[in-house]
Structure 1
Amino acid sequence: MRFFNTEGPVRAGEHYLLPPLTRWDLEQVLSLIEQKKYFLLHAPRQTGKTSCLLALMAYLNQQDRYRALYVNIESAQSAREQVEQGMAIVCSALGRAAKLYLDDARPSDWCRTEGREIAAGDRFAALLEYWAGADSQPLVLLLDEVDALVGDTLVALLRQLRAGYPQRPQAFPNTVILCGVRDLRDYRIHARSEPAPITGGSAFNIKAESLRLGDFSEAETQTLLQEHTQETGQVFTPEALQQVWTLTQGQPWLVNALAYQACFRSPQGRDRTRAIDAAMIDAAKESLILNRVTHLDQLADKLCEERVRRIIEPMLAGEALEQLPLSDIEYLTDLGLLRQRGGGGIEIANPIYREVLPRTLALVPQASLPQISPTWLDDQGQLDPERLLAAFLEFWRQHGEPLLKSAPYHEIAPHLVLMAFLHRVVNGGGTLEREYAIGAGRMDLCLRYGAVALGIELKVWRDGRPDPLARGLEQLDGYLSGLRLDSGWLVLFDRRNGQPPIAERTQVDETRSPGGRRIQVIRA
């Protein structure tokens, strides 16, 4: 029985799949190969790049016009700056791939004999010259995980390809496709042999195109899910199909992971007579996030990078993005963290990522929280918003100051501490939903616990800006209207210099919003 794949390339006999060659413009790719071009394929991790390259290799070899070879060179990353070792690993990887896919031992034999006598800086190019000239068929080389290489090793690889380029196709590959997460423009190569960082474009200025593998469309997402229905008879309700698309926006790994969790991991989903509904998809999402599965963990790890923090921090706070390098935005887009909206603005790529990022950032404050008794529950175990407000005020006055220092993003530290507190509240019994918009200057939260829903808006008062109360009440009115609630919290974090300690300045007042809703204004 086939299943949804979340690890490695797809295999037709084992996995539900969309034919890989339909996921990019094959006619364009074949045209570039016909023109003897060297080009890039890039996309975020676990979106199907390797599957596409393997399918392209098989297609070209079946046509019997080219010799095509896929080579994964990620293992050369371990060589770091050691060019001798790195080039030996790359050549060895090519030799093993030629044996595996083409039943051709000549590259391996060359590495053992002639290759040992050639300097590391020329060894890969010499191997390609030898092997490209060994047959009349033009050679097409598909190099995967190129951007995993580091420093001088990456420079050596790129420059050898550039040096041999004029000799194609008789004595060098007709076409080379470099594949990785990042576009070549984002290669910032710090080589010991160079006085300044090198850009990928300068080290490999023979690049003709840079192709990006996109996410699934909504129709493709549904086609993939319905492969399971055709195989097992188990259907997805229309609401479940829509929910998968809404949560993932077609990100291939997320689509497969949600469906695998719902259909193969959950007890209800393993009952093939039961339809997969939207509630089961939501439960699958929550399970993926709570278990910090590898894909989401790798994504969260990127939050430590400074160029990622420069963009994600103001986005979470709802602040405008000002004077940011375009290269940083392009980098986060290549990582799959951001996408462009229809109107041209940027946003977090999908709702699951929008939930994972602040949750991850709140982990350290959450782990630092003291033991908190659930005084916010009534005698029937239901959430009491008045008790919750009293518990938060007591917590914030006592622990707010030291916990702010534990938050990894200083500018949104209050947001993260409050979310950490609320995660303790909903742990196992509810959900915490987040909304944030660039330029709006706010983050909105909706806490759901049983039959109770609480809308909360967070704003920050900074030096040189007016009191955010009036604007906050207006914005909260709109948020509560969308939630169909007639009351909520407006939390104003005062981050101006020279303010009294948190314990002294924290207070709460009740007021009415412009729409007449009852609002608890918490100045913290």
Structure 2
Amino acid sequence: MRYFNTAGPCRPDIHYMLSPVERLPGLRRLIDQQAYFVVHAPRQVGKTTLMLTLAQQLTAEGRYTAVLLSLEAGAPFHHDPHLAQQEIIRSWRIGLAAQLPSERHPAWAETMEIPTLSISEALAQWAQTAPTPVVVFLDEIDALEDTTLISVLRQLRAGYPSRPQAFPWSLALIGMRDVRDYKVAAGGSDRLHTASPFNIKMRSLTLGNFTQDEVAQLYRQHTTETGQVFTDEAVAYAYDLTAGQPWLVNALAKVCVEELVEDTGQTITRDDIEAAKWVLIERQDTHLDSLAERLREPRVRNLIAPMLAGDLPGDLPDDDRRYVLDLGLVRRNPDTGVLEVANPVYREVLPRVLSGGVQDALPRLEPVWLDGEGRLVPEKLLEAFLGFWRQHGEPLLRGVAYHEIAPHIVLMAYLQRVENGGGRVTREYAIGSGRMDVCLRYGGVTVGIELKVWREGAGDPEAEGLEQLERYLAGLAAGAVGWLVIFDRRAGQPPVAERTRAYRAVTPGGRTVTVVRA
């Protein structure tokens, strides 16, 4: 039996997997040219699987002695290069024992003594004694920071001219980011901003997501082994939800076949993929949970915050844009070139993560928006929200780190409390329109909500908002209730409790909706 993998490198004996080397053609040519290069991509895209597989293939062919080694053991010692290198080389012994026969090991890997070598000395000794040219892939390079990182990079650069007789024939640094984004604490910056001190690299390569055909190939492996079929619609929807992000592609299928549809005689449908999506979003497994850490970083926040509000990011440094792209949080729309959140699953996860703290701070909310039979009454929900906003809006806004979209986050936290009672909230960000669309579905009731912000120096957004709400409601279920919520963020306004009100309005298409001024 093989399985869909969501933890660590893939192994062909127990995991469904695509040929990793085919996903990044050209690596063999770089290695044959004695190149030093960088492979960077977001976490859980397949970097480690790719480089481990390539190392195994190169060694098996007999021309090279190739291995994947991690630098992560040095991560706790940012300012102590000597101790970091001892721990790194100690961890390399384990990696070498797992990947290579003992006759290909360097002498320092066979001794029981605590290693006292530097990184460059260890690599030089190995290159001089190995039976075939040494090829080393150094994983988790961006786990290192500050003086330890600089020390390692400089050692690699210093040894480069001695290859291949006295230093590795070819070497790759593997991590989430390109060299210029490695973290340092020097010169008034927290990044290198340059390829130096690793200016010996020939190329920087990025491992991309799966194509739709590759998603289909992966899912067909499960069908071949178990007989359980994924419909074409299910495969296409899985690709649409994930944009081919490998961890998400595997995670959706894993939830489907191991939790939702365990009977292999039953077909996996589009509805099953949809159900699996919500399992992942609500459970926020490790991969999704790690997004929260990134959202705390200022240069991530500066790009993500306006996008969540439907605005275009401002004049940000190119390095910041590239950094968030490299993390896999955003992508460029293939049709328009505009930055957008990387995939629909992330689009749901990001606001949930951001509103999690606010949701924890909310007072107990009684479901007064339900009637005696448990059905949602939109008018009661609106009345409950207005009362809540008047009483708690101001203090909650002050506690939101993403100040630019604080009202959005508080409203989303409130709606998630409603969702937890049996509804479903989905969001769309129309980048460049200055709005966020939110849809609440509860039983047979659908509420379409358009969020707008009235900013300093701008005109009243109501007319534009009504037009946008009209278009949004047209794509929802017949009879959907419409709200246009306008958050007034101009200076000098009365307190929230005094200015919050609601009234009826008519869209250009003749729909009667509710406008909320908050």
- The aligned residue for residue 10 of structure 1 is 10
Per-residue CA shift, 1:20-63, capped at 9, x if unaligned? 112111xx111111111100111111111111011101111122
User: 1:379, CA displacement in angstroms?
Assistant: 2.3
Pairwise CA RMSD: 1.8
Q: 2:295 aligns with which of 300, 303, 315?
A: 303
User: Does residue 463 of structure 1 match 2:461?
Assistant: no
Local SS of the residue matching 1:508: strand
Local SS of the residue matching 1:51: helix
Contact 1:40–1:207 under 8 Å retained in 2? yes
- The aligned residue for residue 188 of structure 1 is 183
Contact 1:92–1:108 under 8 Å retained in 2? no
TM-score (norm 2): 0.95
User: 1:346, CA displacement in angstroms?
Assistant: 1.0
Q: 1:202 aligns with which of 187, 196, 202?
A: 196
Per-residue CA shift, 1:279-304, capped at 9, x if unaligned? 22222221212222111111122111
User: 1:360, CA displacement in angstroms?
Assistant: 0.8
- The aligned residue for residue 327 of structure 2 is 335
Provide the rounded CA distance (Å) in 2 between the counterparts of 1:481 and 1:109: 67
Matched to 1:262, the amino acid is: C
Q: 1:293 aligns with which of 271, 285, 298?
A: 285
- The aligned residue for residue 33 of structure 1 is 31
Provide the rounded CA distance (Å) in 1 between the counterparts of 2:478 and 2:506: 13
- The aligned residue for residue 215 of structure 1 is 209
Provide the rounded CA distance (Å) in 2 between the counterparts of 1:109 and 1:228: 40
Matched to 1:461, the amino acid is: W
User: Does residue 489 of structure 1 match 2:487?
Assistant: no
Provide the rounded CA distance (Å) in 2 between the counterparts of 1:514 and 1:182: 48
Provide the rounded CA distance (Å) in 2 between the counterparts of 1:495 and 1:301: 28
- The aligned residue for residue 67 of structure 2 is 69
Per-residue CA shift, 1:415-472, capped at 9, x if unaligned? 1111111111121412111011222111110111111111110001111110001111
In structure 2, relative to structure 1, the CA distance for the partners of 1:14 and 1:317 (3 Å cut) is same
Contact 1:43–1:180 under 8 Å retained in 2? yes
Contact 1:115–1:127 under 8 Å retained in 2? no
Matched to 1:131, the amino acid is: W
User: Does residue 150 of structure 1 match 2:145?
Assistant: yes
Per-residue CA shift, 1:362-385, capped at 9, x if unaligned? 111111111122111122211111
- The aligned residue for residue 129 of structure 1 is 124
In structure 1, list runs of 5 or more residues that go unmatched: none
Q: Say which is worse superposed, 207-216 or 74-83, in terms of deviation.
A: 74-83
Contact 1:95–1:107 under 8 Å retained in 2? no
Q: 1:95 aligns with which of 81, 93, 96?
A: 93
Local SS of the residue matching 2:202: strand
Matched to 1:214, the amino acid is: G
Contact 1:318–1:442 under 8 Å retained in 2? yes
User: Does residue 362 of structure 1 match 2:355?
Assistant: yes
Provide the rounded CA distance (Å) in 1 between the counterparts of 2:45 and 2:66: 22
Per-residue CA shift, 1:315-355, capped at 9, x if unaligned? 10112212101111111111110111112111100000000
Local SS of the residue matching 2:451: strand
In structure 2, relative to structure 1, the CA distance for the partners of 1:176 and 1:385 (3 Å cut) is same
Contact 2:446–2:477 under 8 Å retained in 1? no
Local SS of the residue matching 2:132: coil
User: Does residue 263 of structure 1 match 2:257?
Assistant: yes
Q: 1:313 aligns with which of 300, 305, 314?
A: 305
- The aligned residue for residue 345 of structure 1 is 338
- The aligned residue for residue 169 of structure 1 is 164
Provide the rounded CA distance (Å) in 1 between the counterparts of 2:222 and 2:125: 47
Contact 1:188–1:200 under 8 Å retained in 2? no
Local SS of the residue matching 2:10: coil
The correspondence of residues 342-491 of structure 1 with structure 2, limited to 5 A, is 342=334, 343-485=336-478, 487-491=481-485
Contact 1:259–1:281 under 8 Å retained in 2? yes
User: Does residue 22 of structure 1 match 2:16?
Assistant: no
Q: 2:315 aligns with which of 320, 323, 326?
A: 323
User: 1:114, CA displacement in angstroms?
Assistant: 11
User: 1:96, CA displacement in angstroms?
Assistant: 3.1
Q: Say which is worse superposed, 459-468 or 430-439, in terms of deviation.
A: 430-439
Matched to 1:71, the amino acid is: L
Contact 1:91–1:111 under 8 Å retained in 2? no
Q: Say which is worse superposed, 210-219 or 228-237, in terms of deviation.
A: 228-237
TM-score (norm 1): 0.94
Per-residue CA shift, 1:250-304, capped at 9, x if unaligned? 10001111111111123xx112222222222222221212222111111122111
Matched to 1:56, the amino acid is: L
Contact 2:145–2:183 under 8 Å retained in 1? no
Runs of 4+ off more than 4 Å: 109-115, 194-197, 484-487
Matched to 2:195, the amino acid is: G
Q: How many residues align?
A: 513
In structure 2, relative to structure 1, the CA distance for the partners of 1:150 and 1:417 (3 Å cut) is same
Matched to 1:39, the amino acid is: F
Provide the rounded CA distance (Å) in 1 between the counterparts of 2:405 and 2:262: 42
Provide the rounded CA distance (Å) in 2 between the counterparts of 1:372 and 1:299: 28
Contact 2:397–2:407 under 8 Å retained in 1? yes
Matched to 1:323, the amino acid is: D
Per-residue CA shift, 1:99-148, capped at 9, x if unaligned? 332223434258767963x6xxxx22122222111145211111111110
Q: Say which is worse superposed, 239-248 or 348-357, in terms of deviation.
A: 239-248
Matched to 2:251, the amino acid is: A
In structure 2, list runs of 5 or more residues that go unmatched: none
Matched to 2:202, the amino acid is: A
User: 1:87, CA displacement in angstroms?
Assistant: 1.2
Contact 1:138–1:169 under 8 Å retained in 2? yes
Local SS of the residue matching 2:385: helix
Matched to 1:159, the amino acid is: R
Local SS of the residue matching 2:129: coil
Provide the rounded CA distance (Å) in 2 between the counterparts of 1:178 and 1:131: 18
User: Does residue 230 of structure 1 match 2:228?
Assistant: no
User: 1:92, CA displacement in angstroms?
Assistant: 2.4
Provide the rounded CA distance (Å) in 1 between the counterparts of 2:250 and 2:257: 10
Contact 2:86–2:114 under 8 Å retained in 1? no
Q: Say which is worse superposed, 497-506 or 89-98, in terms of deviation.
A: 89-98
Local SS of the residue matching 1:203: coil
Matched to 2:312, the amino acid is: A
Contact 1:368–1:406 under 8 Å retained in 2? no
Provide the rounded CA distance (Å) in 2 between the counterparts of 1:450 and 1:225: 33
